[in-house]
Amino acid sequence: LLQLCAIGNLSKVQSYVVHTFSDVNFRDYDRRTALHVASSEGRLDVVKYLVSKGAKVNRSDRWGGSPLDDAHRHRHTEVARYLRGRGA
């Protein structure tokens, strides 16, 4: 799921979540979620989808960074604005 979010193909992310693996809050070895990855890559459509499926906007990775921090770090202002509007 995290790799699909990095690529940003929304239809593949949706299909994967529906048919294969529905835990949108799954964490990798660095405690990053799909929302961290999509936010880092500026994939606003994927970010919106993950949040609609229950992704937690304030989860911290192993370094204490949130999806909002990742969006800011990579200058994805639309993603950051969206996450702030969802309580991040």
pTM of the model: 0.94
What is the set of domains in the chain, with CATH numbers? 2-85 (1.25.40.20)
- The residue behind tokens 């949108």 is 24
Query: How far apart are the C-alpha atoms of 25 and 53, rounded to whole Å?
Result: 9
Q: SS3 of 39, please? A: helix
pLDDT digits (tens, 9 = 90+) for 32-62: 999 999 999 999 999 999 999 999 999 999 9
